[in-house]
Structure formats: structure tokens, C-alpha cells
Structure 1
Amino acid sequence: MEPTRKSDLKKARTLQILNVIYDAIEVIVALIAGIIANSSALIGWALDSTIEVLSATTLGWRLHGELKGIDIKQVNRRKKITLYVIAVSFTLVCIFISYDSVTKLLSQQTSSWSTMGLIILVTSLLINPIFIHFKRKYGRKLDSPALLADAKDTFICLYQTIVVLAGLLLVNWFGWWWADPVAALLIVPYAAKEGWEAYTKARDISIDEK
């Protein structure tokens, strides 16, 4: 392996490790904030971020495998299993968010203000663009479709962050109780799309692929 590629692989792996650490913090804080505030949007965002953790962990695992010269069959097997897990996880997230949001819309439940939620959302708006930049950078340098795809996923997460933040502010500023569950429902199409793509990618992977 060329020294330059090896160096870039190490940097990309470190990037994924940092991404996993931040996303894990994001999940914990958002879940706590969402439960306390009874916010479907925050909880849904946290659950979606949980899958981002899984995705980033898997990619880091694969990069580590390349660095260690892992057998291609093992790489493909790990990738296939993980993609199926991601697909199932996204499906469960869609079901939960849809049920929770529709229930709150029908019962007109109102979420309360969450300073903790606001802080983690704004923090993510500042940090995620940095991750996107470097994922794209090393994705191009390593010619890695997986890393570039992960950058795309992070960009989608950034969009979701804006939607959830908007819902949180609309509830607080204008008393629009429906803004929170509607913001949560807006996450569903993207989660469903990502889940389907994960499933089709897993289905197309051959364990014996050389």
C-alpha cells in the first residue's frame, strides 16, 4: 500500500471515530431532551442519529480492515450484515416516528420547550458541516464511494436538524403545537429512503465478490 493512501486511510478512520463519538453524544442528549419535553421531533432525530452512529462505525470498521489487509470476503460479509441491520433499523424508526407523531396530532399533545434540545441542535448545525467537508475530502482522495455516501448521509442529517429546530422554535414562539409532530413526520421520507437504499445495497453484495 502506498504511504500516501495509508496516511489518508488513517486520517479517514480517525474522522469516523470522531464522528461516532460526537453522534453518540448527540443521541444521548437528544433522547433525554426529547423524552423530557415530550418532543416527537427530538426523539425521532435522536433515533435517526443512532443509525448514523451505526453507519459511521461500520465505515470506520471497513477502513480499519483495509489498513490491516483484511480478507475481501470478510469485508463483504460484514458490510452485508451491517447494511441489513441498518435497513431494519430505519424501518423501525419510520414506524415509531409515524405512530408517535400521528398519535400526538390526533390527541393534540403539545411538546414543551427544551433548552437542552436547542443546544444540541445548534451544536450539530455547527459541527456537521465540518464532518461533511472532511468526509468529501477523503472520499475523493481515497476514491471511496462509501465515504462520499456517508458525507451525503451527514448532509441529510443536517437538513433534518434544521427541520427539527424549526419545529421546536415554532412551538415555542407561536404556540403551534402541531409543528413538533409534523417536523418529526418530515424525517420519515428520508429515513425510509435510506432504509431502502441500505437494503438494496445489502442485497446486491456478493460474499464471494473479488
Structure 2
Amino acid sequence: MADNKKLYKIAFGLAIFTIIYNIAEGIISTYLGFEDESLALFGFGSDSFIEVISGLGIAHMIVRIQKNPNSKRDNFERTALKITGIAFYILVFGLVVTSIYNIWTGHKPLTTFWGVVISIISILIMWILVIWKRKVGNQLNSVPILADANCTMVCVYMSIILLVSSGVYELFNIPYIDSIGTLGLSYFAFKEGRECFEKAKSDKNCCCD
């Protein structure tokens, strides 16, 4: 029991770190994305802010399952999931419309250098979080914590998309690549939004498996 208590503290600490990191990543990415006119970086930062809402629900979930591992999702978590889902859908709409507009007008970012830097940092940190969350989840034999680790892996995929689109543009200055990368981010954001509503309606831990 003492070991389990320590593991739950680690899981909660990882959830809090994820929230703090996403806040910092969101602020920096949206600012630099706006300054550099990089829609992909701006959208990536906006997604980070939405992940903060999701993270609050996950932190609450860890506290709940620590007290009662067999308990069901409560109203706080369901509300957080619905708000997160709505925010993802709004983000997808904005990114898709702006991407199409940028392609239509031939708009290109001033630079995507910071997109490369931020995506590399994000890949490293999120991958470490995935490994750590999976380790704790396996030790606790906790399906919800393992599911959260799988959902964190989606952030790695989105970071890879940002890295590829930003890197290709920075190296070869290919038109529309920033907008295409944004559409790739929109795809994952849409999936996350849909999964949030599915989880809010049921007691499934995660659709990211």
C-alpha cells in the first residue's frame, strides 16, 4: 500500500507537470507563431492550452482512482471532457478555414525556425512523459493511467507533424507546407475532440489505444 501511495503521488506529479508544461508551451508557441506568421506553430500552441483543460480532468481522475480504483468517471471529469471537446472542434474549424485561406492567398510564414526548436523540445519531453506514465501505470496495473499515457503519445505525433512541416519549410521554403502541416494538426485535434465526447458519455478510459 505504501508503494502504491508513492506511485499515485508520482502519477499526480506527472499530471501537474504536464499541465504546467502545456501552459508554458502554449504561451510561447502562440506568441512566436503569431510573430512569425506560422499558422502551424500558432495552432500547436492553441492545442496546448486545450490540453491544459484535459490535464485538469486527468489530475482529478488520479485523485479519484487513488481513493477508489473501481470508481466511475464523475461529473467534474465529464464536464472537463465536454469543454475540451468543444474547444478542440472550435480550434479545428479555425485552423482549417485559415489554412484554406492561406493556401488560396499564397501566404507563407516569415520563418519556421522556432517551430523546429519547440517541436524537438516537445517530442523529447512528451516521450519521457509517455514512458514514465506507462511505467507507473503498469506498476499500479491501472488502465486509466496507461490510457492517459497513450493519449500523451498523440502529443508526440502532433509535435512530429510540426517538426516536419517547419523543418521542410525552413530548409526548402516550399509554399503551403505550413498550411498542410496545420491541416495535419487539425486531423489529430478533431480526433481528440471526438474522443472527448465519447469518453464523456461512457466510462471508457481513453479512445487513444
Normalised by the length of structure 2, the TM-score is: 0.88
| TM superposition shift of 1:76 | 0.7
1:58-73 superposed matches below 5 A: 58-67=57-66
Gaps of 5+ in 1: 206-210
Choose between structure 1 and 2 for higher RCO, CA contacts under 8 A separated by at least 6 residues: 1
RMSD after superposition: 2.1
| TM superposition shift of 1:107 | 0.6
Residue 208 of structure 1 is matched in structure 2 by none
Query: Alignment length, in residue pairs?
Result: 203
| TM superposition shift of 1:21 | 1.3
Question: Tell me, what secondary structure is at the counterpart of 2:104?
Answer: helix
Residue 37 of structure 1 is matched in structure 2 by 36
Answer whether contact 1:125 1:158 (CA < 8 A) is retained.
yes
| Aligned-partner residue type, residue 103 of structure 2 | L
| TM superposition shift of 1:67 | 4.6
Question: Tell me, what secondary structure is at the counterpart of 2:110?
Answer: coil
| TM superposition shift of 1:146 | 2.6
Alignment of 1:129 onto 2:127: yes
Residue 99 of structure 2 is matched in structure 1 by 101
Distance 1:188 1:120 in 2: 18
Question: Tell me, what secondary structure is at the counterpart of 1:191?
Answer: helix
Distance 1:195 1:143 in 2: 27
| TM superposition shift of 1:162 | 1.3
Distance 1:119 1:140 in 2: 32
| TM superposition shift of 1:185 | 0.0
Answer whether contact 1:128 1:158 (CA < 8 A) is retained.
yes
Farther-moved stretch of structure 1 (94-103 vs 110-119) = 110-119
| TM superposition shift of 1:49 | 1.7
Identity of aligned residues (%): 28
| Aligned-partner residue type, residue 15 of structure 1 | L
| TM superposition shift of 1:51 | 2.0
Answer whether contact 2:112 2:170 (CA < 8 A) is retained.
no
Question: Tell me, what secondary structure is at the counterpart of 1:9?
Answer: helix
| TM superposition shift of 1:60 | 1.1
Question: Tell me, what secondary structure is at the counterpart of 1:186?
Answer: helix
Distance 1:155 1:9 in 2: 20
Residue 207 of structure 2 is matched in structure 1 by none
| TM superposition shift of 1:79 | 1.2
Alignment of 1:57 onto 2:47: no
| TM superposition shift of 1:200 | 1.4
Answer whether contact 1:29 1:117 (CA < 8 A) is retained.
no
Question: Tell me, what secondary structure is at the counterpart of 1:156?
Answer: helix
Residue 148 of structure 2 is matched in structure 1 by 150
* Per-residue Cα deviation, 1:138-192 (whole angstroms, up to 9, x for no partner): 1222333332222122211111111111111222221212000000001122111
* Per-residue Cα deviation, 1:116-145 (whole angstroms, up to 9, x for no partner): 333222211221111000111112223333
Normalised by the length of structure 1, the TM-score is: 0.88
| TM superposition shift of 1:18 | 1.3
Answer whether contact 2:19 2:56 (CA < 8 A) is retained.
yes
Alignment of 1:189 onto 2:187: yes
Answer whether contact 1:90 1:195 (CA < 8 A) is retained.
yes
Distance 1:175 1:182 in 2: 13
Relative to structure 1, the CA distance from residue 86 to residue 143 in structure 2 (aligned partners, 3 Å threshold; closer, same or farther) is farther
Answer whether contact 1:59 1:146 (CA < 8 A) is retained.
no
Answer whether contact 1:33 1:114 (CA < 8 A) is retained.
no
Distance 2:63 2:177 in 1: 42
Distance 1:177 1:130 in 2: 33
Alignment of 1:140 onto 2:138: yes
